[in-house]
């Protein structure tokens, strides 16, 4: 059945999650489908950051480390993030960046693997994993005399052999939006004695995650995508309780010390996940991130992540159906898996010839997605990438985005965007 714009407005009117959109500052005339790159600004963030600056810093000064609770921000905000990803209180902290946190947990995982299976010399990851994850793994492989082996989702089970020390995967692939079954893959890894490290950058706040239920070993994730923490927001790090006290992480800074204010010259790691802290908490950034996480926790009375996931799938289903129907005359294969169990909260369309120009033309029309270049092969084409954050994306936004996409393609106005791109590069 073909849905009209009026049908989509009716879906929005009946949506129990619709009131959550009011939490965000959304620019007039902008149809924002890029929350998988940078989340929208919560209305509460500006006031909260101003309060931290003017009152807690301006008036409280150094006293605010205690009186305002700055010193416990990594744990406090970490516990809130933990509610979204299946971590128990005290198991997850907010700190540093995803790259730095990946270095910490991958180092710890390799240390455990070296004790359990000293003969294993392979870190296994997906070829289309986010490049920074691969760079960190390459660095650690070189330091440990190991090899980083790259595979595909289809080949993963065959390559997950008894020579693999650690399997490092992004739960939802940043390019295609393909989602791994975390519990199943973790079980396969454990069956051959391999530890798992999961990157939740495109999962946390977008899809239900249950780290403890999946028996995962380590996880990290960022705060500026679906968690709405702002550009460059702090990341988070989690270690299963069975591993948290086993090894030091390599960046043994003073905030990860068991007693940081004794100023001992000898390092003694804190108990549990707090040893994965390093330097002084970024108070302004963590305060902003807390506002972003609170926008997701506001969904708990309405069904929480399960309800958000159900709407996400409705939005992505609608987008796929509308593109196939209304852009049928153009070559735009859907690169995102059709199965709900394999799909994150985004849809990627292959656009091998003029994808960048098409996206620029869409942005000029107020529809903001993003473009990811491929390697020129069918396995990794250029992609138009659209993120669907159910907290604020409406069904009518989906309809209007496809209307704009069809207009850009039918009219050929992308050609002007392509010309402008070449002129700018020259």
User: Which active-site residues does the annotation give?
Assistant: 130, 199, 224-225, 385
**Structure-derived torsion over alpha carbons of residues 306, 312, 314, 318, reported in degrees to the nearest 10:** -170
Rounded CA separation 289/233 (Å): 6
Q: Is 186 one of the annotated binding-site residues?
A: no
Identify the CA nearest to 49 among candidates 329, 283, 316, 278.
283
Show the DSSP H helices in 86-181 as ranges.
98-116, 131-143, 156-159
Rounded CA separation 281/267 (Å): 19
Identify the CA nearest to 392 among candidates 99, 8, 83, 31.
31
Q: Is 131 one of the annotated binding-site residues?
A: yes
Cβ–Cβ under 8 Å, residues 303 and 320: no
Q: Is 99 one of the annotated binding-site residues?
A: yes
Q: Is 254 one of the annotated binding-site residues?
A: yes
Identify the CA nearest to 346 among candidates 84, 85, 36, 31.
36
Rounded CA separation 252/278 (Å): 6
Specify the long-range contacts of residues 355-359, CB closer than 8 Å, at least 24 apart: 355/382, 355/383, 355/384, 356/382, 356/418, 356/421, 357/414, 357/415, 357/417, 357/418, 357/421, 358/384, 358/405, 358/408, 358/409, 358/414, 358/417, 359/384
Q: Is 79 one of the annotated binding-site residues?
A: no
Cβ–Cβ under 8 Å, residues 20 and 299: yes
| CA 42, 43, 46, 47 torsion-angle sign | negative
Q: Is 261 one of the annotated binding-site residues?
A: no
Q: Is 410 one of the annotated binding-site residues?
A: no
Q: Is 196 one of the annotated binding-site residues?
A: no
Rounded CA separation 382/369 (Å): 14
Q: Is 7 one of the annotated binding-site residues?
A: no
Q: Is 224 one of the annotated binding-site residues?
A: yes
Q: Is 400 one of the annotated binding-site residues?
A: no
Annotated binding site for pyridoxal 5'-phosphate: 98-99, 130-133, 170, 199, 202, 224, 254, 280
Annotated binding site: 98-99, 130-133, 170, 199, 202, 224, 254, 280
């Amino acid at each position: 059945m073909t849905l009209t714009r009026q049908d989509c407005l009716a879906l929005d009117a009946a949506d129990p999650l619709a009131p959550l959109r009011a939490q965000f500052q959304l620019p007039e005339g902008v149809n924002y489908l890029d929350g998988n790159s940078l989340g929208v600004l919560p209305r509460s963030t500006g006031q909260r950051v101003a309060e931290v600056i003017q009152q807690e810093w301006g008036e409280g000064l150094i006293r605010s480390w205690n009186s305002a609770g700055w010193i416990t921000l990594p744990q406090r905000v970490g516990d809130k993030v933990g509610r979204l990803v299946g971590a128990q209180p005290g198991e997850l902290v907010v700190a540093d960046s995803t790259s730095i946190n990946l270095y910490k947990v991958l180092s710890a995982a390799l240390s455990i693997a070296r004790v359990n299976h000293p003969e294993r010399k392979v870190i296994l990851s997906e070829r289309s994993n986010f490049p920074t994850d691969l760079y960190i793994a390459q660095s650690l492989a070189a330091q440990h005399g190991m090899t980083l082996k790259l595979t595909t989702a289809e080949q993963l089970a065959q390559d997950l052999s008894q020579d693999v020390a650690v399997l490092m995967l992004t739960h939802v692939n940043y390019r295609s939006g393909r989602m791994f079954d975390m519990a199943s893959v973790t079980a396969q890894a454990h069956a051959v004695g391999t530890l798992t490290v999961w990157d939740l950058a495109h999962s946390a706040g977008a899809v239900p995650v249950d780290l403890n239920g999946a028996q995962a070993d380590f996880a990290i994730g960022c705060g500026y995508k679906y968690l709405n923490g702002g550009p460059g927001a702090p990341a988070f790090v989690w270690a299963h309780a069975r591993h948290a006290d086993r090894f030091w992480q390599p960046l043994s800074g003073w905030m990860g010390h068991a007693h940081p204010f004794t100023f001992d010259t000898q390092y003694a790691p804190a108990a549990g996940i707090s040893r994965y802290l390093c330097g002084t908490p970024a108070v302004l950034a963590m305060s902003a991130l807390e506002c972003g996480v609170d926008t997701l926790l506001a969904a708990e009375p309405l069904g929480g992540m399960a309800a958000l996931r159900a709407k996400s799938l409705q939005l992505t289903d609608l987008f796929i159906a509308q593109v196939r129907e209304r852009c049928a005359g153009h070559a735009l294969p859907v690169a995102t898996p059709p199965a709900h169990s394999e799909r994150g909260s985004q849809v990627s369309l292959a656009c091998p010839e003029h994808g960048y120009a098409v996206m620029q033309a869409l942005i000029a029309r107020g529809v903001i997605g993003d473009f990811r270049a491929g390697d020129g092969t069918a396995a990794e084409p250029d992609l138009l990438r659209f993120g669907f954050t159910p907290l604020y994306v409406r069904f009518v936004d989906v309809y209007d985005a496809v209307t704009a996409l069809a207009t850009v393609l039918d009219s050929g106005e992308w050609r002007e965007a392509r010309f402008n791109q070449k002129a700018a590069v020259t």
